[in-house]
Amino acid sequence: MKYMLISVCEREIETAKFDTYEDARNAMMHELYEEYYRDYYSHVASNVEEIEATWSTIVCHDVYDSIDDWGNTKFAFGEMWAWSNIDPDWNYDWKIVEI
């Protein structure tokens, strides 16, 4: 079985095919990490090791919701989906589907 990662940023849609679920999920999580890194680096910490350590504690979960200080969810992910409102100007959604 093959997998497709569908990435949506606002109205821009991209797709990528993968031979394994793990490759598709790793690609999805990498895209989410890039969003997380940009926000965390610019607002919270400039220490790359701190950012990576925090991220590694997040990705060990199968399902995760990140909630900010005001109770708003900034991003979330499950086994075959993710979304991000980390940057309010750029909303992202990801979905892995079997093909």
Residue with the bigger pLDDT between 72 and 8: it is 8
The per-residue pLDDT for range 18-45, each reduced to its tens digit, is 999 999 999 999 999 888 887 766 665 5
pTM of the model: 0.81
71 φψ region: left (φ > 0), alpha (ψ -120 to 50), beta (else): left
Q: Which two tokens stand for residue 27?
A: 């690609």
